[in-house]
Structure formats: structure tokens, C-alpha cells
Structure 1
Amino acid sequence: MNDSKMGLRQKGELVHWLSGVIVSAIAVSLGSCATNAPSTSSDSQTQPSSAAATGELQVITTILPITEFTKAVAGDRAEVTQLLPNNVGPHDYQARPEDAQRLANADVLVENGLDLEEFLDDLVTNAGSTDLKIIDSSEGIATISNEDVEGDDHAHAEGEEHAEEGDHHHGEFNPHIWLDPERAVQQVENIRDGLIAADPEGEAEYKANAAAYIAKLQQLDQEFSQQLQPFAGKTFVTYHDFAPYFAQRYNLNAEFLVGIPEENASPDDVQRVINAAKSSDLKTLLTEPQAAGNPFSALAKDLNVQVSDFDPMETAGEDGLQPDYYFTVMRQNLTNLTTALGGQSTQSFLPALRPSVAVVPQTVGVGF
């Protein structure tokens, strides 16, 4: 009896010992799984991007046309990202602290230049990167001064207004060079040369990509020259003064309602537009998708003309980040401009070029 009880006690102790071993083993296993578990979302945000991890050239661009040109040249060799949100133009952009960090992590910054991106100097300084290479796509390009475009009185009045209000304004030269395909070719060449300097091993690829894109720009230029030749010397009207380079290229004159989108039109501005529309017998006034509301609606009604768009591509939907978007929009601009001048376009397009986008509201006073 005593021997039997002793055997049962030993068996019980053995079972208790085995249970402890199993529980310990499970705990060790769970601890091992926890060690190999995926990191939390906050941890993953600190990890380098796949592009940075592979050593791919990191390129930051500023505005949509510069992004399009840079992506065309870079191809698959570099990671190209835009600094500004798609629906915010350079006139409205306010730099954020995280944007300085983006520049600090970049290898190359590509800008339009000509003081369009007036926010960049402080942003680059705050980024504190001594290795950041900056490509000014306007380098060496023939410019048009804002004084020549606006006239002494208008330029003086505008300067006083912006000095008082602290608004964004253009610098000494009009910055909208990308709207002239010939100057756009020079911008692409500058971007090509800058990327080669930053990444010499990619020279062949950058040159080939740039050559293909330049050929398309030259074809576009020929289309514009041919279609607009019958209207040489005529004037068209846009919302703000983005068109002097385009007009100069095709022997036209460009009039505008306001100097920059944030500016309110004065009675003198309205009268200039009326005179221009009548002298050229315009059929259409050309506003832009970026303008809030329809600033030409009342004026067009008085003149008995239509309102259409000439898109300077300062904002867009996601499609605006693709290189070929430039050609789609420019050909639509050609169609609308030809109609405005009283002709018929040889181009054919679908009604909607792009999805509607939210645009930063702007206050426009027509002033009449």
C-alpha cells in the first residue's frame, strides 16, 4: 500500500514537471514570434524608401511642367517627386517644415527659375544639405521683363500693391517660359545636363530620353507655327500674364486681366481687355482652370463673346505628373486659342482633358 502510494506520488510529480516544461516551451516560442513580428506603422515610417535603399538618384521638382520635363529625361533611372501638391500653384504655395526635410534627403532639386519659386531660398537654407545639386532650368534662356509686358504704370502700381499686402509676385522677368515649346526644349536640355552632372553613369540614358522628348516638342512647335500663322499680329486675352513667351514665339500679342492670380482687376485693367477684344474681334476670352469661379463671365456677356481656357499647367490632377500631359494640354490650348481668334482648329480632342481638382480659393475683383 505504501509502495503504491509512493508510485502515484512520483507519477504526479513527473506530470507536474512535464507541464512546467511545456508551458515554458510555449512561452519561449511566443517570445520568439514577438521578436520577429512586423514593425508598427510608426516604425515603418522611419525606414528609408525603396528608392533610397537601392541608391537611386533622388530628384525633387517644383511645379508641374518641371516635373513633366524631368520625368521625361530621368526615365526609370531616378526617383522624381514633386515638392508642391498638384492642386497648389507656385503663387499660392506655403512651405512646410517637412518640405525642408524632403530637400535634405534629396540629391537634386530642379526648379523653373526666374523667381517663380520665391519660397525656395529659405527652404534650401533650412534643409541644410551641402550636397544638394540645384538645376535651374531657365539658365541661358532669353527672357522677357515684366516691365516690358505690363508697362511702367501697371508694373509700378502692382509693385506698390504687393509691397503693402505682402502677396506673391513675379520677379524682374516673366517666368512662364515652359509655355513656349522652343524654350521648353532649352529647359529639357538644362535638366539633361544637370542630371548628367549629378549622375555621370546615366549620361547615355539621359541623352536618349531627352532627345526623344525634344523631338516631340519640336513637332508640337511646328503644329503651333502652322496653325497660328494666319493670325500673326492679332491679340488674344488671358486671365493672368502667363503668355508673353508663347505670344512672342508665334508672332501674336497677349493681353491679360491681372498680373498674377491673387491680384484684383482695376477699371483700367478691364478697359484694356475690352479694347484688346474689340481690336482683334475676339470670339473667346481665355481664362484658366486655376482661376476661382469665372472672372470673365460678366465681361464676356457685355462683349457678346464666349469664355474658354488656356491652361498654363500650374495645377492639375494626377495625370499632370506624366510627361505626355504637357502635349495634351498644349494641343487643347491651341484648339481653344484658334477658336478665340476666329479660326477652326485642325486638332480633335475629347471634351474632358483631366479630372477636376480642388484649387486654392482666390479673390478676384473685376472692378466694373
Structure 2
Amino acid sequence: MYRTLGSIGRVLKFGLGGLGAGAIALALVACAPTASNQSDSNNTATGGISDNDAAGSDAAGNKAVVEDKAVGENQTAGGDGKLQVVTTFLPMTQFTQAVAGSCAEVSQILPSNVSPHDYQAKPTDAQRIAQADVLVQNGLELESFLEPMIENAGNPDLKIIEASAGLDLIAMAEEGHDHGHEEGHEEGHDHGHEEGHSHDHGEFDPHVWLDPQRAAAQVNVIRDGLIAAAPDCQTEFTANAAAYTDQLNALDEEIQQTLAPFAGKTFVTYHDFANYFAARYGLEVDFLVGVPEENPSPEDVKRVIETANSSELKTLLAESEVAARPFQALANDLGVEVSTFRPNETAGADGLAPDYYLTVMRENVANLAAAFGAQAE
């Protein structure tokens, strides 16, 4: 989950004239922080996609960034002969599991109910990385909390796959919520953190997996990285990746057909995470607070009210029930509902399966179409 709002008292300094009672209440709601249980239990996902068609080549020409980390004594363990792969969080696990098949054992470092925006690394993470052959992460500084764990793992043969390498990226919104969807950047440079905040984002929005086409590109990056780590499994990795990207391409076409009537319209989310999705389908997106944590000002609230009214939205979209609670006050003022648009960062145990991504995205699209006024079939 995303962090909920912290202390929101500073909003009162700006004055709240002109806002409805619900919008004022939004500024006063104190939501308890997400209290996800960061257990040490392994989220393990083995297997992949069976009975696949023969694979084709990657038309986009994506290449995996596979980085060898020479950090100390190797403690890689893989007694059953399978490639030992650790992933960071949900979409990385889903995509890696789709490719891995019978050649690799895949386990997730983060508990499946904890977002990378909220996670605090633990010493046991270094132990798991020490026993891995491959680490798959999204990149774009989303998992920077793991950097000390990687350095302390003592695993010189660890290969790190950056799934966002080579993708067209969207710059993070500057203060003032400039939603230009500036694209055309390629990941590959080192974006430094502001010292002391391990969950700060870098220059680019990291939520690339919410565009199914970019998700397919990430799958192919993972495929190439796994092939580099286990060349004997090239045939299986290639076939599995092709089968899953076929499903992602079909999903993309389905979403395009559903959302085509709403091209150019703007939807509203609670946090800033849906830019890649919006850009892919010719939409605009506004949000109330940024990621990972901000307090909304009266200007933020007014802006969202204007957006919702001008777009004639029927629904505001929150990524979780936790985020929906403070959003509800604003929805009450607008006379609209609150529904969900999940960023596919957290789930139950069933969320580790590759098909879960497809399910979540279809649910998101149905909720978004309803927000624009489409009638459920």
C-alpha cells in the first residue's frame, strides 16, 4: 500500500474558504499509516507457462541489463540445479514467474502485502540475496532500500536484472503537478537520491508496468537476463516470454477498445501512479497527493474538484481502501463515488501468479470506464 497522509495541519495555514465541508474534512482526516505485516516469510512462486507456442524474437530489440556485483564471498545456493531468482515486489514476481518455467525457482523479497514505497529492508534480505543467482528489480530507484543489502550480501556472482532498462520513460511530475507525460527518455543513468530518504524517487516515474506494452518490454528484458544467467534454458525462457507477451498484447488491444470513446478525458487518482497508463491510452490523469507521501494543500483540493467537474466524473479512483477513506470526503462534496484503480504493487498470496496482473488490469479498466460514465454490461 501507499503511505497514507501524515500530519496535515499545515493545510490550515492556507485558509479553506470556498471548499465544501467534505473537502475541509479531507484536510483534517488523520489516516493511520499502513500497518502491513513485514514478515520474514518467503513469497515463493515456482513454475511458469506450459504448453507454449514457439517463441518469436523481440521486435522492440530490448536488452536486459545484467549487472555482476562483486561484493564478497559467493554464497549462492541452488542444490536442486534450478536457477535461484529473487524478485523485489509484485509485478517483478509475476513477470519473472511467467518466464521462469521449470528452469528457475522464483521468490519475492517483499511480503506480498507491502508496497516498495513503504518497505524497510531487513538483515534477512541480505541473507536471501546471498543465496540467489539472480535479482530482478524494477529499477528507477524504486528499490533503492535494497542497495545496502546487496552490498552486504557477499555474493560476487549475483546478477541483477533492471527490468526498466531501455524503456521510454516519463519524467516525474514537478511541484505543481505538471502532467506533460514527457516521454522519449531511456533509463540508464544514475539518478542520485536526496540524502537521508531511501524512498525518494529519481528523475523518472517508476510505475512503468501499468502500461501493458511497457510491461511486455519488461518481460523481454527479464527473459534476456535469465538467458544470460542460464543459457541452457534459452528455449524455455523464450517460449514462456512469448506466450505471456502475447497475453499482454491481447490485453492492450482490449483496453484500447474499451477506452477509445474516452480519449482526451481526465481521470483522478488519489496518488500519482497512473501516468504510463494514461499516456498509453490517450488519457490525462490528475492526482491529489504525490508518491510516496505528501499533504494536500487547499489548492490541490480545488484543482481536483475542477478536474472532476470538467470531466464529469462519476467516480474518483483510489488505489486501496486505506486511500479511499480520506478521498471519500471529497467525493461526498462532488456527489460522486470512490472506486479502485490498483497499481498492482500489493496483493494476497494469489497475487504472485502471472495471471493476476491481467485480472487487476481488467478490473482497473472496468472501474475507469465506469468513472467516465460507461454502463456496466
Instruction: Give me the TM-score of the superposition, normalised by structure 2.
Output: 0.73
- Is 1:258 matched up with 2:289? yes
Q: CA deviation at 1:242?
A: 0.7
Q: CA deviation at 1:75?
A: 1.5
Deviations 1:156-191 (A, max 9, x none): xxxxxx979947322110000000001001000000
CA distance in 2, matches of 1:122, 1:333: 35
Q: Indicate which of 109, 112, 137 corresponds to 1:111.
A: 137
- In structure 1, the partner of 2:204 is 173
1:68, 1:323 within 8 Å by CA — same for their partners in 2?
Answer: yes
- Is 1:272 matched up with 2:298? no
CA distance in 1, matches of 2:225, 2:141: 19
Number of residues paired by the alignment? 288
Task: Specify whether residues 167 and 266 from structure 1 end up closer, same or farther in structure 2 by C-alpha distance, changes over 3 A only.
Answer: farther
- In structure 2, the partner of 1:138 is 164
Q: CA deviation at 1:212?
A: 0.3
Task: Report the residue type matching 1:343 in the other structure.
Answer: A
- Is 1:329 matched up with 2:360? yes
Task: Specify whether residues 69 and 54 from structure 1 end up closer, same or farther in structure 2 by C-alpha distance, changes over 3 A only.
Answer: same
Structure with the larger helix share: 1
Q: Percent identity?
A: 61
Task: Report the residue type matching 2:86 in the other structure.
Answer: I
Q: Report the 3-state secondary structure (helix = DSSP H, G, I; strand = E; otherwise coil) of the residue aligned with 1:246.
A: helix
- In structure 2, the partner of 1:217 is 248
- Is 1:120 matched up with 2:112? no
CA distance in 2, matches of 1:140, 1:231: 30
- Which structure 1 residue ranges, 5 or more long, are not aligned? 1-50, 154-161, 347-368
1:149, 1:244 within 8 Å by CA — same for their partners in 2?
Answer: no
Task: Specify whether residues 259 and 137 from structure 1 end up closer, same or farther in structure 2 by C-alpha distance, changes over 3 A only.
Answer: same
Q: CA deviation at 1:273?
A: 1.1
CA distance in 2, matches of 1:297, 1:166: 30
CA distance in 1, matches of 2:113, 2:94: 15
Q: Indicate which of 77, 82, 87 corresponds to 1:61.
A: 87
Task: Report the residue type matching 2:228 in the other structure.
Answer: A
2:324, 2:338 within 8 Å by CA — same for their partners in 1?
Answer: no
Task: Report the residue type matching 1:277 in the other structure.
Answer: A
Q: CA deviation at 1:76?
A: 2.0
1:167, 1:262 within 8 Å by CA — same for their partners in 2?
Answer: no
Instruction: Give me the TM-score of the superposition, normalised by structure 1.
Output: 0.75
2:172, 2:204 within 8 Å by CA — same for their partners in 1?
Answer: yes
- In structure 2, the partner of 1:72 is 98
2:331, 2:337 within 8 Å by CA — same for their partners in 1?
Answer: yes
Q: Which has the higher contact order (CA 8 A, sep 6+)?
A: 2
Q: CA deviation at 1:292?
A: 4.8
- Is 1:87 matched up with 2:113? yes
Task: Report the residue type matching 2:317 in the other structure.
Answer: L
- Is 1:229 matched up with 2:260? yes
Structure index of larger Rg: 1
- In structure 1, the partner of 2:326 is 295
2:129, 2:135 within 8 Å by CA — same for their partners in 1?
Answer: yes
Q: CA deviation at 1:288?
A: 1.2
Task: Report the residue type matching 1:314 in the other structure.
Answer: E
CA distance in 2, matches of 1:189, 1:126: 29
- Is 1:202 matched up with 2:228? no
- In structure 2, the partner of 1:31 is none
1:287, 1:295 within 8 Å by CA — same for their partners in 2?
Answer: no
Task: Report the residue type matching 2:349 in the other structure.
Answer: E
CA distance in 2, matches of 1:198, 1:164: 33
CA distance in 1, matches of 2:339, 2:223: 35
- In structure 2, the partner of 1:249 is 280
Task: Report the residue type matching 1:102 in the other structure.
Answer: R
CA distance in 1, matches of 2:268, 2:306: 10
Q: Indicate which of 342, 350, 356 corresponds to 1:319.
A: 350
Task: Report the residue type matching 1:248 in the other structure.
Answer: A
CA distance in 2, matches of 1:77, 1:225: 34
CA distance in 2, matches of 1:333, 1:140: 27
Task: Report the residue type matching 1:282 in the other structure.
Answer: L
Q: CA deviation at 1:150?
A: 5.6
Task: Specify whether residues 309 and 110 from structure 1 end up closer, same or farther in structure 2 by C-alpha distance, changes over 3 A only.
Answer: same
CA distance in 1, matches of 2:301, 2:274: 18
2:270, 2:323 within 8 Å by CA — same for their partners in 1?
Answer: no
Q: CA deviation at 1:252?
A: 0.1
- Is 1:340 matched up with 2:366? no
- In structure 2, the partner of 1:17 is none
Q: Report the 3-state secondary structure (helix = DSSP H, G, I; strand = E; otherwise coil) of the residue aligned with 1:119.
A: helix
CA distance in 2, matches of 1:336, 1:212: 27
Task: Report the residue type matching 2:136 in the other structure.
Answer: V
